[in-house]
Structure 1
């Protein structure tokens, strides 16, 4: 059948608006909106039948007036946004089940396949979406937009739901005081998360800030030098831009020297999983106390035995209450040290991620083999432990598209 014959069959089902007339054949003609396509078909049918052109009926039996409300729906979306900044957006729609059934019946009654053309939902998303984009001056993003709108048309009134996707910041933190956990812990008054998050939460006007570290050091360990990679996820932000240098300054001067942050950068959301799953090598510096005297020769021999050696570590006693009791293999990539006196040493260890340093030194009652204490035949305890280096997450943190979308100042609803 020709397009004119198909249009004639569609019009025979009942009163149709131009959009509902054009939509079932949207895959067979291009370069037009469904409304323009339907208008052209209506005109062609009138000319072919030598009948006067008739405007479409006011009450379309298929969409029940939805296609006449694109401007109104776009206004409702912008109104629902409120004072929220965004660079990118996406519009979705929930269509009434009765209207979806009308869509199906239209095609069946006209002799079409049920999936012919384009669904009404797709048209509403596109037509309302382009109006919203024009109003806000924002770009559509079908992957992870700054803001997602859901227009729910299933109730008596239009309900627009607004999902503000997280702002994610990548950086590194240095922990300069002991007995501070990485994240909130009821046994301690503060954490790295609680010290770092407040300025970001305020700047981006979010509802919550979630801290993700690339591993974590022991509570009593310092994190020094270049620091540990982290991602900070600001939930439901109403602002999408801020001066990260100013935020770093706010953290670094506002924590009484306990925590510092560096290398802050806006990042795409996938950095969260990359940070959490990052199995970085780490370098530690431990101050070690021996129970009995240790000679220089024995000390050097024990370190040589551990250097570039694979260690078997059963889950340490100190964390067995929260971790599965397993035996893990980890490699000591390098180890070096200085015997300060016959009872004290300073030891630097570069190891695979997940290597328990305190147990590498003490042996943990035989749960770690080999260990420094076991090789020396002398009890050994880590008095202080500092993390000197954590390998970073591979750059770049920002995709090219993300960087382009962030150019200029974010737009804001009113």
Structure 2
């Protein structure tokens, strides 16, 4: 659009009735980057007055027929948004606006009267978002963020309401589980469905607790994080999980605690780590706690990981040291086919999984007992690698020895990324 056409369009827009600077400038929002719509509108109003040698008529936003005066309320909306999150810690924000259909229609008519496309410039809601957002940023010192901000606002102009969302905060770390028979997450009783009541009385299975196990790694860690961050709820996300009767030792298992609607984000993670460990009373311990982004949840769940295990193995008959050594050599580096194990077929799809046993070693304790260490690809079932699981796993230690073998105790020693570490600075919050 050349200068003459621009001035002609501005004259046509001004001729429609009383129009504020914001609404006059909005159809030209794609011109002169760095200006606000009000600055564009005032410039056009001035240019028309100069070109026509006419008296300058300043705008009165309250009389504007296009926005019906709402463009005068940006400061008020920003103040209300700031008040809505008073007492909440945040570093980033995003503003959205729901504009009444009548005002959107006014904008379309306004452009049509000047022969402009209905989508010329920008819509009122976009200017609202930007102008209220800039003011909110100045009031709070926070930065606008469009991906996943700490707080979000929806300004409903018709209803005159500010809807506020405080997004979750995330804390990453690694945990060690130092006692057996503790599940990773809460395990509600299947007989009473977590209610603690069955057949008109106290559930005998869980003794009224609602849980098959009274404690979990989640229950020993997440409540402390939630409390310190002053949230309303929390969710535990682990990089896989060990069996209930297995220990998690060594470097620990990566996890993320997600805290809903936190009022605090600026926390001392060192002190939090000490608080969690004190609360867990030696049953579980955590280390390396750091605030992280939402992306770390997906990372701990999806990153390909290998695991190291130590298994105490019991044999049904005597085994010679050289027989064990030969069998372990066969398993070392082997590609293993595992059909869904009997012990998990009630909750896992029945199919054959191909996994690699990267390293397998061990030694006899006595003729009926051995200690075996396995570095396996993620998803390799270790108990079945030892027992064979009635032929569902091939090859297996029991199958190669021709002797029944079971895991009496299992310890997980390490959980690490196959190709890269879980800990990546891209996912941490300073």
Instruction: Report the equivalent of 1:36.
Output: 39
- Structure scoring higher RCO (CA < 8 A, sep ≥ 6) equals 1
Q: Does 1:140 align with 2:144?
A: yes
The CA distance in 2 between the partners of 1:92 and 1:310, in whole Å, is 53
The CA distance in 2 between the partners of 1:240 and 1:11, in whole Å, is 49
Match of 1:245 among 270, 275, 284: 270
Instruction: Report the equivalent of 1:129.
Output: 133
Name the SS of the counterpart of 2:299 in structure 1.
helix
Q: Indicate the larger mover: 2-11 or 171-180.
A: 2-11
Change (3 A) 1:350 1:288: same
Match of 1:181 among 180, 183, 191: 183
CA contact (8 A) 1:360 1:368 kept: yes
Instruction: Report the equivalent of 2:25.
Output: 22
Change (3 A) 1:398 1:339: same
CA contact (8 A) 2:337 2:355 kept: yes
Change (3 A) 1:147 1:97: same
Q: Does 1:350 align with 2:356?
A: no
Residue by residue, what CA displacement relative to the aligned partner does 1:265-295 show, whole Å, maximum 9, x if unpaired?
1111101001011221101000011111111
Name the SS of the counterpart of 2:133 in structure 1.
helix
Instruction: Report the equivalent of 1:11.
Output: 14
CA contact (8 A) 1:192 1:259 kept: yes
Offset of residue 381 of structure 1: 0.9
Instruction: Report the equivalent of 1:322.
Output: 347
CA contact (8 A) 2:303 2:422 kept: no
Instruction: Report the equivalent of 1:377.
Output: 402
Instruction: Report the equivalent of 1:278.
Output: 303
Q: Does 1:73 align with 2:77?
A: yes
Offset of residue 154 of structure 1: 2.5
Query: Which consecutive unaligned segments of at least 5 residues does structure 2 have?
Result: 189-211
CA contact (8 A) 2:225 2:276 kept: no
CA contact (8 A) 1:214 1:276 kept: yes
Offset of residue 395 of structure 1: 5.5
Name the SS of the counterpart of 1:194 in structure 2.
helix
Instruction: Report the equivalent of 2:225.
Output: 200
Runs of 4+ in structure 1 off by over 4 angstroms are none
Instruction: Report the equivalent of 1:102.
Output: 106
CA RMSD for the aligned pairs?
Answer: 1.4
Change (3 A) 1:269 1:4: same
Residue by residue, what CA displacement relative to the aligned partner does 1:116-161 show, whole Å, maximum 9, x if unpaired?
1121111111111111111111111122211111111132xx2111
Query: Which consecutive unaligned segments of at least 5 residues does structure 1 have?
Result: 407-414
Residue by residue, what CA displacement relative to the aligned partner does 1:62-109 show, whole Å, maximum 9, x if unpaired?
111111111111111111112111111111111111111111111111
Equivalences, count: 401
The CA distance in 2 between the partners of 1:160 and 1:183, in whole Å, is 36
> What aligned pairs does 1:215-364 form with structure 2 within 5 A after superposition?
215-364=240-389
Name the SS of the counterpart of 1:273 in structure 2.
helix
Match of 1:61 among 62, 65, 85: 65
Name the SS of the counterpart of 2:164 in structure 1.
strand
The CA distance in 2 between the partners of 1:323 and 1:290, in whole Å, is 28
Residue by residue, what CA displacement relative to the aligned partner does 1:223-257 show, whole Å, maximum 9, x if unpaired?
00110011111111111111111111111122121
Instruction: Report the equivalent of 2:412.
Output: 387
The CA distance in 2 between the partners of 1:94 and 1:246, in whole Å, is 42
Match of 1:50 among 27, 48, 53: 53
Normalization by structure 2: what TM-score? 0.90
CA contact (8 A) 1:175 1:260 kept: yes
Normalization by structure 1: what TM-score? 0.94
Name the SS of the counterpart of 2:29 in structure 1.
helix
Residue by residue, what CA displacement relative to the aligned partner does 1:284-323 show, whole Å, maximum 9, x if unpaired?
0000111111111211111111111001100000000000
Name the SS of the counterpart of 1:14 in structure 2.
coil
CA contact (8 A) 1:267 1:398 kept: no
Offset of residue 39 of structure 1: 1.3
CA contact (8 A) 1:266 1:398 kept: no
The CA distance in 1 between the partners of 2:322 and 2:426, in whole Å, is 53
